[in-house]
Amino acid sequence: MLEESFEISILFDFYGPLLSDRQQDFVRLYHDEDCSLTEIAEQFSVSKQAVSSGLKSAEKKLRFYEEKLGLVARWKKENGI
């Protein structure tokens, strides 16, 4: 789980601006600020399911962008990571 969260955070650093504002907020709060689904749902006055769906959609998009563009892989290679 921690490794996946780290992966999403790196992908978000590269591709976050390509997500909607709400998706950016959900990813930032969940992966970077360690907020729970419930906390995020309360903050945005939505259901936990809405937050979960938004996160899954955002994560899928981030992985899609990396698959197509490969910026993270290139960065890792250039920095010996």
Query: Would the pLDDT of 22 be above 90?
Result: yes
Round the average pLDDT of the chain to a whole number and report it: 93
Query: Would the pLDDT of 4 be above 90?
Result: no
Q: Between helices 48-69 and 71-78, what is the axis angle to 10°?
A: 60
Element (H, E) at 41: helix 37-44
Query: CATH topology for 2-78?
Result: Arc Repressor Mutant, subunit A (1.10.10)
Q: What are the phi and psi torsion angles at 62 (to 5°)?
A: -60, -45
pLDDT computed for residue 81 by the predictor = 78
